[in-house]
Structures are given as structure tokens and as C-alpha cells.
């Protein structure tokens, strides 16, 4: 059925006259791969950045027309500024940023006349209305407990009195729906934006809310970025003090472009203690530095295991590696999260440890990490403030 629907969409697009009058968007290779799941169609149009405003009504018209096709309830069509690469679904990856020579301590040297990166974390990136600060939780590889950390950290921020949201940016393996036990689908607000879902006081958005949990995501980079852009900028977040972004693991194009385009107040790196995970964490940290996103610190997850029977601590994956790495790289060490059955059990049950045991020892660990993260953000803000000198 979906192949017939894709064909119908393509033929519909061939028959539409784009606003620049240069021929249909299919023949010009402006259409990405079309993905259909659970009655929703997703694809993007590649246009020049200076043409985006002119193409916006055209994009909305396409969404309305696609939603009228039998078997399709709604459509998500995004405009991307990436260069077309010769046919539907073949768009070029986003350009990588120039790498400047490293300054002492491993930080990229600032451009001539520019302030240090830490003093301008969101320079040149449009903000999201209603959201004060955005913090990324990232890892250099999968399997280190990044999503569990991101959710519990978001809950710890909320416990400190902040209005908090969480964006699950892991398109290929969204975990937030299960971690927060959210099974509903987002509703549309006037046909143009989506309403986030809520759990434990957090506002949440995830691709896992839009497609079935077992549906494989086979998008290329441009399509992933289109979906992320809409989940970030076309959601009625309301007023938030902080949005936590659960980043995809690794350092590919999706992660790099997210870091380049979103006004991040900073990034928290999650790693386990062993050398291999730390090597990948080092790559993630280097990526954020290259795109001038301040690294707020490193969290050592699965840091140690306390035997529930005898109370003895065991260093299953080693211990202290992330702290030593943070010291070596000159970034804050935010804390150690133990390898504990309760964290796993509550996560699997959709009732995160910070929410279900707010007075417990693990909640305190996350509260300390949240407080240190906020202190790091405030430190950056103070560093960016101008100094008034009286002579």
C-alpha cells in the first residue's frame, strides 16, 4: 500500500508548479526519500536558504494535498537548505565546519577578534520561542545509558523547580516513550504545530510517539534533520526554563548538524569508565568544541556496582576513568551514577528512579549532577557578560 501511496505523492508533486517557476520539484531532484508509517508521510524538499520563505506556502500546500491521499492521515514536509544530489532521496550531507588550529589545552583557537567559544554558546543560531536554555545530553557511542541519564537528569532539573521539557533526538532508536511510559500520539494544534505529551511534569516529544515502536527508521541524514527540526521548532513547547535534548549516539552528520543549528547552552557527555567508551566520549567532546558548543561536563554512568546482598562495591567496568578524562581535558566532572538494578527496573517500567524514589540515593546523585550543570551554564553566562572598567 505504501509504495502506491509514494507513487501517488510523487505524481502529485510532478503536477505542482513551485513558486520559483523553474519546473517541478521531482524532476529537479529536490524531493528526499518518502517514508510512510502509521498513516503519516514524511519527506523534505531541498531549497536554497534564501528561497525558504518563498517556498513555505508551497510546503504547506503539499502537506494538505498529501493528507488528502487515501490511507494517509497527515504529512510532515520540511524544507532543508541542503544541496540536492541528483534525484529523490539523494541529497548531499551538510558541510562540515572548518577545523581551526587547536589552542593550548585542546580547545579550537577562536577566530581572529572573536571571543572564546564559552562566551558565545548560541551565537548566530535562532532560538526557540518560549525556551530559555537548551542542553544536549550526548555520548560518543550507544549502550552507555545516555537516554536513561537524560530522562533522570531532566526530572532532577524539574525537582529543582524548573519548567523542563525533553526532546528525544534519537530518530533511529527513540527511548523516551518507554522510559516515560507514554503511549499516546501527539495532537495537532491548528494543523501547523504539534502538542507535546507530558509525564512526571515533563513535556516530551519523540519520533517514537509518531511511529510504531517496531517500525525501522531507514532515513538518510537530511530526512533525519528535517524531522528533528520540526520536532524542535514546530511543537507548542510553551514556556520552558530548560529543554533537555537526548542526542543520537555517535558523532555523525545528524549529531553535527544538530549541534550547528540549535542554540545549545551546552552539552553533557555520558560515558562508562572503560577505555573504549572514553575514547568515543573524547570524540563527542571534540565535536562539540569544534562547533563552539560549551561542554558542561562528563558523567560517569555504570560507575560501580554495589552488591545488594553484602554491600560490597565492585568496579565492573573499571572506575574513575571519566573523572580522569575530565581532568585531562579540562572539563568539569559532574558525577558518578552506579550500576544498580533499581535504575534498570524503574527505567524498564517507565517510572524513572528520580520520579519514583525522589528521596532515594540515586535521585540525590542526579540532583547533584543537575545542580553542577546549572552552575556551569550560569558560569558561562557570567563569562559572557561585558566588564565595565572605570579609569
Edge to edge, what strands does the sheet with 40-46 contain? 35-37, 40-46, 74-80
Q: Does residue 272 sit in helix, strand or coil?
A: coil
> Which parts of 201-324 are beta strand (E)?
202-206, 240-246, 266-271, 295-300, 305-306, 313-314
How far is it, in rounded angstroms, from Cα 347 to Cα 94? Answer: 35
How far is it, in rounded angstroms, from Cα 222 to Cα 228? Answer: 10
C-alpha distances in Å from residue 187, one per residue of 194, 210, 227, 310: 6, 10, 16, 50
C-alpha cell at 91: 541529497
DSSP string, 247-264: PPSSSSHHHHHHHHHS--
**Topology of the domain comprising 2-80:** GMP Synthetase; Chain A, domain 3 (3.30.300)
Q: Does residue 345 sit in helix, strand or coil?
A: helix
**Residue 124 per-residue DSSP state:** T
Q: Does residue 183 sit in helix, strand or coil?
A: coil
Measured at the alpha carbon of residue 173, what is the angle toward residues 160 and 222, in degrees to the nearest 5? 105
How far is it, in rounded angstroms, from Cα 328 to Cα 72? Answer: 53
Nearest Cα neighbor of 91 from 100, 99, 81 is: 81
* Angle between helical axes of 146-159 and 341-348 (0-180°, round to 10): 90
Cell 561542554 found at: 295
Architecture of the CATH domain 117-384: 3-Layer(aba) Sandwich (3.40)
Q: Does residue 298 sit in helix, strand or coil?
A: strand
Q: Does residue 371 sit in helix, strand or coil?
A: helix
Q: What is the pLDDT of residue 243?
A: 97
Nearest Cα neighbor of 280 from 153, 147, 143 is: 143
Asked whether the beta carbons of 151 and 352 are under 8 A apart, the reply is: yes
Entry pTM: 0.70
Residue pLDDT tens, the chain, 391 long: 578 899 999 999 999 999 999 999 999 998 887 877 767 787 878 887 678 778 889 988 998 999 999 988 888 787 765 433 333 433 333 333 333 333 333 333 333 333 333 334 455 678 889 999 999 999 877 778 899 999 999 999 999 999 999 999 888 888 999 999 999 888 877 767 889 999 999 999 998 888 776 666 666 666 777 788 888 888 999 999 999 999 988 776 667 777 878 889 999 999 887 655 577 778 888 888 888 899 999 999 888 776 666 666 777 666 777 888 888 888 999 999 988 888 989 999 999 999 999 999 999 999 999 999 999 998 887 655 444 444 4
- Phi (first) and psi of residue 18, to 5 degrees: -70, 160
C-alpha cell at 253: 552528520
**Residue 186 per-residue DSSP state:** P
Q: What is the pLDDT of residue 201?
A: 96
Instruction: Provide CB contacts within 8 A for 328, sequence distance 6+.
Output: none
Asked whether the beta carbons of 119 and 383 are under 8 A apart, the reply is: yes
Asked whether the beta carbons of 169 and 246 are under 8 A apart, the reply is: yes
Q: Where are the domains of the chain?
A: 2-80, 117-384
The distance between the two most distant Cα atoms of the chain, rounded to a whole number of Å, is 76
DSSP string, 150-177: HHHHHHHHHHTT--EEEEE--SSS--HH
Handedness of CA 355, 295, 137, 166 (dihedral sign): positive
Provide the terminal-to-terminal Cα distance of the chain, rounded to the nearest Å.
76
Q: How many CA atoms lie within 13 A of 148 on its CB side?
A: 28
Partners of 153 in beta bridges: none
Asked whether the beta carbons of 282 and 140 are under 8 A apart, the reply is: yes
Amino acid at each position: 500500500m505504501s509504495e502506491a501511496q509514494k507513487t501517488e505523492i510523487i505524481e502529485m508533486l510532478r503536477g505542482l508548479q513551485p513558486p520559483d517557476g523553474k519546473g517541478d520539484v521531482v524532476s529537479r531532484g529536490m524531493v528526499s526519500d518518502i517514508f510512510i508509517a502509521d498513516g503519516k508521510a514524511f519527506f523534505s524538499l531541498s531549497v536554497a536558504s534564501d528561497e525558504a520563505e518563498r517556498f513555505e506556502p508551497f510546503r504547506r500546500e503539499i502537506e494538505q494535498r498529501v493528507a488528502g491521499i487515501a490511507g494517509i492521515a497527515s504529512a510532515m514536509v520540511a524544507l532543508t537548505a541542503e544541496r540536492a544530489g541528483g534525484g529523490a532521496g539523494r541529497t548531499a550531507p551538510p558541510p562540515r565546519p572548518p577545523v581551526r588550529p587547536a589552542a593550548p589545552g585542546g580547545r579550537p583557537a577562536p577566530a581572529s577578534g572573536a571571543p572564546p567559544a564559552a562566551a558565545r554558546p548560541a551565537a548566530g543560531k535562532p532560538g526557540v520561542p518560549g525556551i530559555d536554555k537548551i542542553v544536549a545530553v550526548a555520548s560518543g557511542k550507544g549502550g552507555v545509558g545516555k537516554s536513561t541519564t537524560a530522562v533522570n537528569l531532566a526530572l532532577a532539573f524539574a525537582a529543582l523547580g524548573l519548567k523542563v521539557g525533553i526532546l528525544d533526538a534519537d530518530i533511529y532508536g527513540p527511548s523516551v516513550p518507554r522510559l516515560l511510559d507514554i503511549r499516546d500520539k501527539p495532537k495537532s494544534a491548528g494543523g501547523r504545530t504539534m502538542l507535546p505529551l507530558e509525564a512526571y511534569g515533563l513535556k516530551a516529544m519523540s519520533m517514537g510517539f509518531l511511529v510504531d515502536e517496531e517500525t525501522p527508521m531507514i532515513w538518510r541524514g537530511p530526512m533525519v534533520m528535517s524531522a528533528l527540526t520540526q520536532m524542535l521548532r514546530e511543537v507548542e513547547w510553551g514556556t520552558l526554563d530548560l529543554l533537555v535534548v537526548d542526542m543520537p549516539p555517535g558523532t555523525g552528520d545528524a549529531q553535527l548538524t544538530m549541534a550547528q543549528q540549535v542554540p545549545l547552552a551546552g552539552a553533557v557527555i555520558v560515558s562508562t569508565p572503560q577505555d573504549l567508551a572514553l575514547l568515543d566520549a573524547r570524540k563527542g567532546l571534540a565535536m562539540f568544541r569544534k562547533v563552539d558548543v560549551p561542554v558542561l561536563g562528563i558523567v560517569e554512568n555504570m560507575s560501580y556496582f554495589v552488591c545488594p546482598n553484602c554491600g560490597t562495591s565492585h568496579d565492573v567496568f573499571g572506575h574513575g576513568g571519566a573523572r580522569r578524562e575530565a581532568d585531562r581535558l579540562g572539563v568539569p566532572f559532574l558525577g558518578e551514577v552506579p550500576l544498580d538494578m533499581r535504575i534498570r527496573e524503574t527505567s524498564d517500567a517507565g517510572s524513572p528512579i528520580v520520579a519514583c524514589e525522589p528521596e532515594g540515593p540515586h535521585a540525590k546523585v542526579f540532583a547533584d549532577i543537575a545542580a553542577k550543570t546549572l552552575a556551569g551554564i550560569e558560569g558561562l553566562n557570567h563569562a559572557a557578560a561585558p566588564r565595565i572598567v572605570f579609569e
